[in-house]
Amino acid sequence: MKNLLVAFLVILFTLSCNPTTTQEDMTATAPTVRPDYVLVIHGGAGAMSRDKMSAEDEKAYRAGLQQALDAGKAILANGGTSMDAIEATIHILEDSPLFNAGRGSVLTNAGTIEMDASFMDGATLNAGAVAGIKTIRHPVSAARLVMTESPHVMLSGQGAEDYAVANGLEVKDTSYFHTDRRLRQLNRAKSKEETASLDWEESKYGTVGAVALDKHGNLAAATSTGGMTNKRYGRVGDVPIIGAGTYANNATCAVSCTGHGEYFIRNVVAHSISALMEYKGLSLAEAGDEIVMKKLVAQEGSGGLIAVDHQGNIAMPFNSAGMFRGFVKSDGETGVAIYRD
């Protein structure tokens, strides 16, 4: 009994000399270091494959994605906000005729252009969106304007146009947005050719988007699109619907989607990623796979998404043949990709 008492006193003395030692310390792993910034972008998903895309086209798309990444990185590397970074990034993509947003937008069945965009701030959960606009050079800026300057979340049609113009956003004549390539795509779509006979561009769901984490720990997401080739005029897809095509929450992640919008609306895809993380404890990668690779596949919904979580982890799942995508992190890790491999 005396020996047991001595042993007990020795243990107490040892613990008193190390008052910060706890059971948690014995089992804890080294904390993950959050990068100063992360930027992830996409330029649409679809039937892109090496045997269908020319070397010239591939080079042009890779260069366009890299230019967009560089624009956002420059802001984040200088301590700028995630919102400023993704807006600048998407401006590059909206100005390029290669991507289905802004100047490169596809045509409706009526031969017109109707653009949608959305923006969300993960720090405040404030969001803004525009739908069916026709003359604003940068729809993503119109979406941000609705978020920051109006009491609303979404404006559409002429009301959205008027609000953007009244607040000084740049306007272009409708001819600026029209390209011969998009007209050819519309004519082919109207001819009711089988999907198998369409080229990779005509089988692509074009949308551009960006998500970012800045040095302040704030997340943001934005998406911009011209919609679907040969869509009925007045059709609105997932992009301007907060929670369907775009979502950001500092507690979980920032998400931007691309694909067959009707499926993304029905499954509230962007918010579902966040909800699986918040309520079920899934990682970003697990949540992305659950929605994109299982739920959407089961419904034959094609597309993908990009996402970054509050710790700087990224995910870029897609169930189509390819997805234009790229990322950059503050540690120098970066990449641009098109195909699955």
Closest CA to 336 of 64, 44, 78: 64
Element (DSSP H or E) covering residue 129: strand 127-133
Identify whether the C-beta of residue 75 lies closer than 8 Å to the C-beta of residue 85: yes
Residue 259 backbone zone (phi > 0: left; psi -120 to 50: alpha; other: beta) = left
DSSP 197-236: GS-GGGG-B--EEEEEE-TTS-EEEEEEE---TTPPTT--
Report the distance separating Cα 229 and Cα 109, nearest Å: 8
Report the distance separating Cα 50 and Cα 68, nearest Å: 23
Q: 258 an active-site residue? A: no
Structure tokens at 71: 């624009």
Identify whether the C-beta of residue 327 lies closer than 8 Å to the C-beta of residue 334: yes
Closest CA to 249 of 281, 224, 217, 223: 217
Report the distance separating Cα 314 and Cα 98, nearest Å: 25
Active-site hit among 207, 246, 252, 258: 207
Buried b (16+ CB within 10 A) or exposed e, 209-242: bbbbbbbeebbbbbbbbbbbbbbeeebbbbbbbb
Q: Which residues are catalytic?
A: 207
